[in-house]
Amino acid sequence: MGHHLATFIRWLLVPVALAGIAVLLYWLFRWIGWKKKQAMGLALVSPWIVGFLVFTLYPLGNSLYLSFTKSSIFGKTEWVGLDNYIRLFTLDIEFWPSVRITLLYALFSLPIGVIGALLVAMLLNNQIKGIGTFRTIYFLPAVLPEVAVALLWRWMFNSESGILTWLLSPILHLFGMDKPNWFGDPRFILPAFIIMSVWGIFGTNTVVFLAGLQGVPRSLYEAAEIDGANGFRKFLHITVPQISPVILLQIVMGMIGALQIFTIAMFVRPSTAAGKFMNQLVYERGFNQMHMGEASAIAWVLFLIILALTLLVFRSSPAWVYYETDMKR
Amino acid sequence: MSKRLSMLMSVLLVIALVLSACGGSKNNGSSGNGGNTAGTDGGSSGGNADGSGQKVQIRLSTWAGADEAKELQAILDDLNAKSDVYEIVQDSNPAEYDTRIITQLSGDSGPDLFWVSAQRAAQFAAGGVMLDITDRLANSSHPAANTDDYYEASFGPFTHDGRIYGLPWLQQPVMLYVNKALFDEAGLSYPDESWTWDDFIAAAKKLTKDANGKRADEEGFDPNNTVQWGFTLNGWPPVQMFIWQNGGEVITEDGKSPIDSPEAMEALNFYADLVQGPLVPSQTIIRDRGFDQMFRNGQVAMFMGGAADDLDRTVENVQAFMVPAGPDGTHVTFADILGMGINAKTKNPDAAFQAFLDLTDAIHHWKIMPPRKSLADYETLKELHPDKAHSLEAIIASMQYGRPYRYSEKYPDWDNIFWTQLMDPIVNAGARPSDLVPKVKPLLEDALK
């Protein structure tokens, strides 16, 4: 019991300390002559700022530092400058296959995810009886834990009793192909993961699109109908431009999510012959091979890839994203 | 002004309180810190608080799952009751064990004792996070401290630059588990010590059967319609074992990787032929039906697994035999080694060392197979493990041939290349050793530099 009490007291002390810091800051801000409102606001968000500094900014900075060092977790950390990056780009046999499979995965799974989610959301946007039930059902996948989903997929991919093999083998048979060894044969690993990404269509993505669709004013459709527009034209000229900010959000979030694929890959444990996903490589370099420096460098390359692609999407957005306050050019 | 001052005072008071609390918890050191993790292990901490005023609390981290942790707790209760020096508290959790222990050891929150795999032991010893116990062992008269009693192979992973950093509590040689009913049905006699690769392949052929009952060595056998296989491989058992049996090496003492030697190439081809041939199920089938599950179901007649596997206890008609010897009769088997280490940062090295020896000895009497020669005795082990009695003679005989990988700080890098660049393509993509070896050998040797 004794040590439980000690732990409990320490748990209590953390909020007390945070509150103390908030009060101190408030008082300091007032001291230097800030307005009451201003001081109060900043003092109240200060616990979050402390958390951000300690748990996000410091680890972030530290990993950047580590990526320029030779570090084996234990003991010495040695500054090596750009060595880790140079080795990755020139010598590392796992790095480029890893970049390749990660980018390919994102390239294929992203459009499937965005277009699929939009189509499902349009279905769910219909005013039919029991639509509430359908919406609930289509949201269910988001509630399931990712590991349970991975198990489910493994069963679906089972080449003897799996439902996917049953569906696909007549098609594969036409091309004279055998039942695929989905997670063993390097040729089938990327397709298997792209198929699994279909799961991402349902759930949160669909709901976000649905919210976007419901925000489109009915009057626009009515006006278009009077002008004789058919369903497809309405979709192309009203729906898409109206929800383009949502599409932008989905593309950015989906891309980040796809490039960071980790849980399912670690759980399914496919053959490594096709390469490991980048996050997998980070984990295995860091915690299996204990090269924290190299692992950090890979993580930063992944970050830069994500940053570059996100910027690219944002730069392109003025051409196809319309905000209500914008004037059409 | 006075209002501002009183506010400042109150804030300073709060900060002082916080700081003194932090300092306080540091002062009671091990017992205070112990609370963090001891509280998380379900139910095992009961009854250790009262009367332990003088005893030192020793924290033990293991990867034991629920049932194993319960058995371990019974052992710990017994040891704790006998000792007036230490009180061992376990923190057992199989989830992400390695990651957790590495993180703890790299900080200051590590346990006093921890279970460690052979590969990690080599890394930890080189990294200086395990206590050097060479002199303590030499000065101790404890039965578990007698280094001469251990099988030499089991010490490899715990030795770094001639110093000892931990003790093994298990050396598990790979055994050949055999479904005797299928042997009887094929009219084969069971494996014995004289078995070599040729006998093994001949038996596997007789034990591989298609739907029409034709065996693999008979005319008209249909390899696309197999219902029973002689053997199974999926990267396990490790190819290293076959290379050693054939007189080859994968890592030499001076950091070379001679996998292109004729001996190694012959063994690699032997392995590739098996995995890609008709005597072993395809990798697709193995994945779908389950590797050991197929053996349990009688779809596979011979299976290689560690001596501690439950196949001979839980499946009818199954017995463990020695793995076949190489073509010239060389006996070697891969041995998985597990052990325990002491945190180099422990605050109570003396009590920890005593608890470490007692616990190591207790585990030797709990798990199969203890790495000690004095315990490798049929009668002793039969009493401890009656449900494995029929396999014990072969297991004991295998002990002296057990051999772990040549672990080192660089081993994980080497291993990563060996599996991803060489074995994975051979097992999963039908690649041939002769195409890969010239390319992979320099990569392997780079990894050892």
Q: Note whether B289 contacts A160, CB cutoff 8 Å.
A: yes
Amino acid B4: pLDDT: 58
Asked casually if ipTM beats, i.e. exceeds, 0.85, the reply is no
Report chain A residues whose CB lies below 8 A from the CB of B32.
3, 6
Do B97 and B233 share a structural domain? no
Q: How far is CA B441 from the centre of its chain?
A: 26
Q: By C-alpha distance, which of B53, B167, B129, B37 is closest to B89?
A: B37
At the top level of CATH, the class of A88-320 is mainly alpha
- B226-228 and B209-210: which strand pairing? antiparallel
Are B358 and B415 contained in the same domain?
no
pLDDT for residue B53: 57
Q: Are residues B44 and B78 in the same domain?
A: yes
CATH at B118: 3.40.190.10
Query: Mean pLDDT across the stretch B149-158?
Result: 91
Whether residue B80 is found in the same domain as residue B92: yes
Can you give the pLDDT at residue B5? 53
Q: Express each pLDDT in B45-82 by its tens digit.
A: 333 444 445 789 999 999 999 899 999 999 999 999 99
Q: What number is the average pLDDT over the span A4-21?
A: 87
Tell me whether residue B7 is in a domain.
no
Contact assessment for residue B174 and residue B306, using Cβ atoms and an 8 Å cutoff: yes
pLDDT, one tens digit per residue, over B340-358 is: 999 999 999 999 999 999 9
Regarding whether B113 and B168 lie in a shared domain, the answer is yes
- Which DSSP letter does residue A327 get? P
Token pair of A73, please? Answer: 């977790």
Closest by CA to B92, choosing from B130, B40, B49, B46, is: B40
B129 neighbourhood in chain A, CB within 8 Å? 74
**pLDDT tens by residue, A205-225:** 898 999 999 989 989 999 999
pLDDT, tens digit, 9 for 90 and up, residues A174-197: 777 777 778 878 888 898 899 888
For residues B89 and B163, state if they share a domain: yes
| A303 pLDDT higher than 90 | yes
Q: Is A6 on the interface with B (CB under 8 A)?
A: yes
pLDDT-derived band of residue B17, with 50, 70 and 90 as boundaries? low
Are B206 and B186 in contact by the 8 Å Cβ rule? The answer is yes
| Average pLDDT of the segment spanning B202-210 | 95
- Same domain assignment for residues B107 and B181: no
Given a cut of 70, is residue B23 above it in pLDDT?
no
A6 to B32: CB separation less than 8 angstroms, yes or no: yes
Whether the bond between B237 and the residue before it is cis, its omega within 30 degrees of 0, is: yes
* Whether A28 contacts chain B with CB within 8 A: no
Q: Is B225 on the interface with A (CB under 8 A)?
A: no
What's the confidence (pLDDT) of residue B49?
41
Domain membership flag for residue B209: yes
Check: CB of residue B191 under 8 Å from CB of residue B321.
yes
Confidence of residue A198 (pLDDT cuts 50, 70, 90): confident
Mean pLDDT of B136-164: 92
pLDDT for residue A327 is more than 80: no
pLDDT surpassing 60 at residue A109? yes
B163 touches chain A (CB under 8 A): no
Tell me the pTM. 0.81
Rounded CA separation B185/A316 (Å): 72
Check CB contact under 8 Å for A7 and B39. Answer: yes
Residues B132 and B258 in one domain: no
Taking CA–CA distances from A23, the nearest residue in chain B reads B11
Structural domain boundaries enclosing B361: 36-173+338-387
Model pLDDT, residue B7:
60
Q: Which of residues 335-394 of B touch A (CB under 8 A)?
A: none
- Contact assessment for residue B45 and residue B89, using Cβ atoms and an 8 Å cutoff: yes
- pLDDT reported for residue B40: 37
Per CB-CB distance under 8 Å, the chain B contacts of A179 are 284
> Which of the four pLDDT bands, split at 50, 70 and 90, describes residue B42?
very low
Where in B326-449 does DSSP place strands (E)?
333-342, 402-403
Q: Within a 10 A sphere around the Cβ of B104, how many other Cβ atoms? A: 19
Q: What's the domain count of chain B?
A: 2
**Mean pLDDT across the stretch A138-163?**
82
Contact between chains at B11 and A181 (C-beta distance less than 8 A): no
CB contact under 8 A, B283 and A184: yes
CA-based nearest distance A260→chain B, Å: 20
The answer, yes or no, to whether residue A256 has pLDDT greater than 80, is yes
CB nearest A159 (choices: B36, B105, B284):
B284
The domain segmentation of chain A, as residue ranges, is 2-66, 88-320
Mark yes or no for CB contact B35/A2 under 8 Å: yes
Residue B38 banded pLDDT, cuts 50, 70, 90: very low
Q: Determine, yes or no, domain membership for B1.
A: no
**B90: in domain:** yes
Cβ-defined contact of B287 to A4 (cutoff 8 Å): no
Look at A68 and A185; give whichever has higher pLDDT.
A68
Q: Using one digit for the tens of pLDDT, what is the confidence trace for B230-269? A: 999 999 999 999 999 999 999 998 889 999 999 999 999 9
Same domain? For B131 and B181 the reply is: no
Cβ atoms A101, A272 nearer than 8 A = no
Most confident by average pLDDT, A43-47, A180-184, B202-206, B379-383: B202-206
Same structural domain for residues B190 and B154?
Answer: no
